[in-house]
Amino acid sequence: MIQLVAFLGNYGREYEKTRHNTAWQFAESLPFYSKLNFQSKFKGQIASLDYSEFLNYACSAVPELLKDGQQPTIAKNAPSKIFFLMPETYMNLSGQSIGEVCQFYKIKPEEVLVIHDELELNPGFFSLKWSGGLAGHNGLRSTKTVLGTQDFWRIRFGIGKPQNVNIADYVLSNFSKEESILMSIVYQKAGLLLVKTLLSSDPTRLIAKWGKVNAEA
């Protein structure tokens, strides 16, 4: 099961509303974000929740998780804690922060969920993905290098890939007002995916439904 959630982005106020910081924007939209007590460590900001505590917050925010008014049963392979990490190494060195957390807490690559922007998906789409290619994403490349494998989980947020535009400039540009409205819808629906992924004893079962989602559908 997932034990570490890493939200990729760039540290600094000038990057807060950029496309490359989609994952940080998503983190801040989560209904339990205010419950996360972040501390500076491992070249980033890290917080943790006891698994049972996370389950309580998740069920409060997403009532549909309740079955006949009861919380889901905690899986036997559930971790005691879930860690939430916002690397502050800047995007291209994100793996350094992730690697330090994994080494300290003995977290395996398959127990890592990396959340990031994705050029290969159109705006309005998000996706749960296991392993696979990196699509030129430097944060993923850094993570693969440090973990020694690309076999880790991802939630991807589509930002699109316009033609005849400098990609570096594009990902570091701010969302338009209309795009920001769209992304708020995406974040709300993706929040359910994140919760389901963290509660799942086998996230591969979620891919059929959540492998590519159009938030506007």
Query: Which pLDDT does position 160 carry in this prediction?
Result: 95
Identify the band that residue 29 occupies on the pLDDT scale cut at 50, 70 and 90: very high
pLDDT in the model for residue 96: 98
Q: How confident is the model at residue 78 (pLDDT cuts 50, 70, 90)?
A: very high
- For 157-195, how does the pLDDT look when each residue is reduced to its tens digit (9 = 90+)? 999 998 889 999 999 999 999 999 999 999 999 999 999
Mean pLDDT of the chain: 95
pLDDT of residue 34: 93
pLDDT of residue 10: 96
Domains in the chain (CATH in brackets) are 4-214 (3.40.50.1470)
Residue-wise burial string across 178-204, b where 16 or more C-beta atoms lie within 10 A, e elsewhere: ebeebbeebbeebbbbbbbbbbbeebe
What is the mean pLDDT of the segment spanning 18-34? Answer: 96
The DSSP line for 109-125 is: GGGEEEEEEETTS-TTE
With cut-offs at 50, 70 and 90, classify the pLDDT of residue 62. Answer: confident
pLDDT above 80 for 156: yes
Question: Which H/E stretch holds residue 183?
Answer: helix 177-199
Catalytic residue among 19, 20, 43, 196: 20
Q: Catalytic site residue 137?
A: no
